[in-house]
Structure 1
Amino acid sequence: MRLILALVAAAVVVAPAMAAETFSDPKALVTAIYDDYQPGKLAGDPTLYYSTKLKGIFDQSIENQVFASDAAMTGAEFKPASVFNPFLPDVSALLFDVAIGEATVIDDRAVINVSYHNFDQPRLVTIAMVREDGNWKVDDVASLGREDHWLLSWALMYDPTGF
Structure 2
Amino acid sequence: MRKLILVAALSLTATGTSTALAQPFRTPVALIEALYAPYLGNGDTSERDAFFSDSLTRLYETDAQKSQGEVGAIGFDPVINGQDWDIADLRVGEAEITGQSALVTVRFENFSAPVTLRYNLVNEEGNWQVDDIESTEGDTRWTLSEIFANAQY
Answer yes or no: is the 8 Å Cα contact 2:119–2:132 preserved in 1. Answer: yes
Does 2:137 correspond to 1:137?
A: no
Amino acid at match of 1:25: T
Deviating beyond 3 angstroms after TM superposition, the runs of 4 or more aligned structure 1 residues are 2-16
Q: 1:9 to 1:28 in 2, by over 3 A?
A: closer
Does 2:40 correspond to 1:42?
A: no
Identity over the aligned pairs, expressed in percent? 24
In 2: Cα distance, 1:105 partner to 1:69 partner: 35
Q: 1:66 to 1:34 in 2, by over 3 A?
A: farther
- TM (norm. structure 2) is 0.81
1:85 Cα shift?
2.1
In 2: Cα distance, 1:66 partner to 1:107 partner: 38
Amino acid at match of 2:22: A
Does 2:52 correspond to 1:60?
A: no
Counterpart of 1:120 in structure 2 is 112
Unaligned segments of structure 1, at least 5 residues = 71-81
- TM (norm. structure 1) is 0.76
In 2: Cα distance, 1:149 partner to 1:67 partner: 26
Q: 1:57 to 1:155 in 2, by over 3 A?
A: same
Unaligned segments of structure 2, at least 5 residues = none
Counterpart of 1:98 in structure 2 is 90
In 2: Cα distance, 1:43 partner to 1:64 partner: 26
Count of residue pairs brought into register by the alignment: 148
The one of 102, 114, 117 aligned to 1:110: 102
